[in-house]
């Protein structure tokens, strides 16, 4: 459960990527978009996609005492998870019935299911789909900080099922721009992390070789 008393001064977003998720971004990739601003001397550092042990007990107090306005904390330990707005990136998320949806039965005509993002009732924890993490992560961080104010999110991937004439039909609300942005950013990240695996022209290769000679 989210401990609101401990995020009044420093807003902490903690982000977890399961070790078993092959389709999820690494912490190194996430750091290119939303940099982890923890102090490695206090909270350890990310090595091989895992955080080393912290060097301070009750490390969260350090960030409040230092006047941090916000903290982005990758691979958080339990003490940080419980004092933060915690987001987990999952390979897939099952659809789930929305709380404000009517029950699906013969007397009702529609039922609404959510997909790609789930946010807990207390707005302190969330899970997002890896296939859309580029657009969902920042949006979810802002949404949770606002106390889950619906005016503070552009996300809407609900699927409405309409029952008519003895047939159940799914009506998707899909934003293709999110898939386009995902592909564009993933390609950019790959080029940043793997600069010499990208096809370059001869002129570009010569420039890269000159840069290497100057190092």
Q: Which helix (H) or strand (E) holds 50?
A: strand 50-51
- Pair 97, 135 in one domain: no
pLDDT 10s digits, 60-91? 999 989 988 899 999 999 999 999 999 999 99
- Pair 33, 66 in one domain: yes
For the chain, what is the mean pLDDT? 80
Question: What's the number of domains the chain is made of?
Answer: 3
| Region of poorest pLDDT, from 57-61, 118-122, 176-180 | 176-180
DSSP string, 150-174: GGG------EEEEEETTEEEEEE--
Q: Are residues 84 and 75 in contact, defined by beta-carbon separation less than 8 angstroms? A: no
- Pair 34, 135 in one domain: yes
- Pair 29, 103 in one domain: no
pLDDT 10s digits, 6-32? 445 678 999 999 999 999 999 999 999
Mean pLDDT of 154-161: 65
- Pair 129, 208 in one domain: no
Share of residues in the chain with pLDDT > 70 (%): 70
Domain, as residue range, for 188: 177-215
Burial of 15 (0-12, 13-18, 19+ CB in 10 A): buried
The pLDDT value recorded for residue 108 is 55
Alpha-carbon distance values, 67 to 29, 71, 143, 146 (Å): 27, 10, 23, 20
- Pair 27, 61 in one domain: yes
- Pair 97, 86 in one domain: no
- Pair 136, 146 in one domain: yes
Q: Indicate the pTM of the whole model.
A: 0.75
3/122 Cα distance (integer angstroms): 10
| Region of poorest pLDDT, from 37-41, 63-67, 193-197 | 193-197
- Pair 70, 142 in one domain: yes
- Pair 165, 181 in one domain: no
pLDDT 10s digits, 116-140? 888 988 899 999 999 889 989 999 9
**Residue tagged 């690494």 (tokens):** 26
- Pair 97, 124 in one domain: no
- Pair 165, 98 in one domain: yes
């Amino acid at each position: 459960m989210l401990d609101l008393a401990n995020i009044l001064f420093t807003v902490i977003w903690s982000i977890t990527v399961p070790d078993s998720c092959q389709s999820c971004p690494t912490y190194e990739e996430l750091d290119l978009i939303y940099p982890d601003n923890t102090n490695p001397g206090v909270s350890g550092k990310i090595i091989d996609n895992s955080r080393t042990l912290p060097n301070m007990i009750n490390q969260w107090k350090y960030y409040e005492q230092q006047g941090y306005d916000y903290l982005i904390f990758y691979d958080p330990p339990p003490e940080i998870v419980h004092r933060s707005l915690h987001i987990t990136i999952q390979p897939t998320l099952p659809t789930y019935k929305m709380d404000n949806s009517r029950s699906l039965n013969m007397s009702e005509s529609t039922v609404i299911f959510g997909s790609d993002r789930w946010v807990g009732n207390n707005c302190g924890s969330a899970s997002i789909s890896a296939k859309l993490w580029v657009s969902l992560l920042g949006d979810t961080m802002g949404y949770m900080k606002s106390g889950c104010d619906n005016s503070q999110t552009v996300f809407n991937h609900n699927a409405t099922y309409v029952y008519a004439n003895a047939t159940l039909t799914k009506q998707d609300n899909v934003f293709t721009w999110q898939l386009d942005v995902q592909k564009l950013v993933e390609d950019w990240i790959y080029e940043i992390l793997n600069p010499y695996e990208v096809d370059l022209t001869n002129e570009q290769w010569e420039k890269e070789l000159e840069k290497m000679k100057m190092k």
